[in-house]
Structure 1
């Protein structure tokens, strides 16, 4: 909720509160990331004031990824600067790749492809395994 009485941001109404992760998966991700990177552990700064919690940092990254919102929108929602939101997103994505690369971010094998093709037929999702190359805008 905004302190200044302004209307809530469009995606704010659908988000959980800022101090709560909505699923067990999100909590497991936070735990795994905290084991590898101190950036997601809440520590006091030089003046003794606590910095953003790991929960808020995870929520920042997930909201940017989930809703496709720019970092300056998140700074109004969680009270974090745009630069810090971008840094949080960068740390988060790098940690996800580093931690889960061997488990979840691998190329599909033959069994996976067969299962995905069956799901595609059942759900009517024709572009599921198609890859397209788009020219880069210069």
Structure 2
């Protein structure tokens, strides 16, 4: 995590929530600083460590570590949700249409849609049946539905569906089509033949159909690359989510990973265009 991003989160949370401020207890002893409180949580997310990994260094037990993890995830979600997970505007939709028409030669394409399964190692035993499917291994999983563009911007994500469902069940419960731009999404063959979904042809029978299938599957790799950057580059963050016991905390921790992915894609895009990166987060967001 970049230094500017970390300090921006620390300053924002300490200005907004009393929990992350420097306080004194009943014995007039000074508690941990906002930097220490946020560092405990970030190291859990970054390295997949246990909640009591700072027990000897900062005298932080397991219960306090989990409590700070929950408060940190909740605070970041409430503070930066509108900034980093906002829905595309009219200008954004037009940008997506122009981008995919120019790069993939698919006029009217808004992005690629797909689902992936996040492994949940510490799923409660009573829930393992509904979170496990035979097609994705024997471990409980939680499904993430996402839409990504050619620049790996994930502008739609729907996380929390139990792992025993398939992509059809997820898209039927997803709020994707409540408010959408005029366009279509590239998908694999599991989705219905809707006007807003352009599926691939599984068994092309002509040269023209084979050419379309090749171009469609090549353009649909955008969402696969986005999933790869979330899982491989940030594998340590996702490994910490596997060890969480509370489903609500897993959902909030996944939001942290998505925010981190969005900020890193913004920085990477500015570096490619040789432009000065904009401030990742502002400390005066209240």
Q: Normalised by the shorter chain, which TM-score bucket?
A: 0.5 to 0.7
1:27-66 superposed matches below 5 A = 27-66=7-46
Partner of 1:94: 74
Residues 83-126 of structure 1 show CA distances to partners (whole Å, capped at 9, x for unaligned) of 11111110000000000001113467653613228xxx9xx994
Contact 1:75 1:85 in 2 (8 A): no
User: 1:74 and 1:100, CA in 2 relative to 1: closer, same or farther beyond 3 A?
Assistant: same
Residues 7-61 of structure 1 show CA distances to partners (whole Å, capped at 9, x for unaligned) of xxxxxxxxxxxxxxx7122111111111211011011111110011111100001
Partner of 1:81: 61
Further displaced range: 50-59 or 74-83: 74-83
Name structure 2 gaps, 5 residues minimum. 97-147, 154-218, 229-286
SS in 1 for 2:19: helix
User: 1:115 and 1:29, CA in 2 relative to 1: closer, same or farther beyond 3 A?
Assistant: same
User: 1:33 and 1:41, CA in 2 relative to 1: closer, same or farther beyond 3 A?
Assistant: same
Q: What is the rounded CA distance, in whole Å, between the counterparts of 2:150 and 2:33 in structure 1?
A: 42
Q: What is the rounded CA distance, in whole Å, between the counterparts of 1:107 and 1:115 in structure 2?
A: 17
Measure how far apart 1:129 and its partner are: 4.6
Query: How many residues are matched?
Result: 106
Residues 118-138 of structure 1 show CA distances to partners (whole Å, capped at 9, x for unaligned) of xxx9xx9944258xxxxxxxx
Partner of 2:150: 114
CA RMSD, Structure 1 to Structure 2 (Å): 3.0
Q: What is the rounded CA distance, in whole Å, between the counterparts of 1:68 and 1:129 in structure 2?
A: 19
Q: What is the rounded CA distance, in whole Å, between the counterparts of 2:56 and 2:84 in structure 1?
A: 33
Contact 2:44 2:50 in 1 (8 A): yes
Higher relative strand content: 2
SS in 2 for 1:52: coil
Question: Could you state the TM-score of these two structures normalised by the residue count of structure 1?
Answer: 0.64
Q: What is the rounded CA distance, in whole Å, between the counterparts of 1:68 and 1:125 in structure 2?
A: 25
SS in 2 for 1:84: helix
Partner of 1:105: 85
Contact 1:44 1:50 in 2 (8 A): yes
Measure how far apart 1:74 and its partner are: 3.0
Q: What is the rounded CA distance, in whole Å, between the counterparts of 2:48 and 2:20 in structure 1?
A: 22
User: 1:63 and 1:107, CA in 2 relative to 1: closer, same or farther beyond 3 A?
Assistant: farther
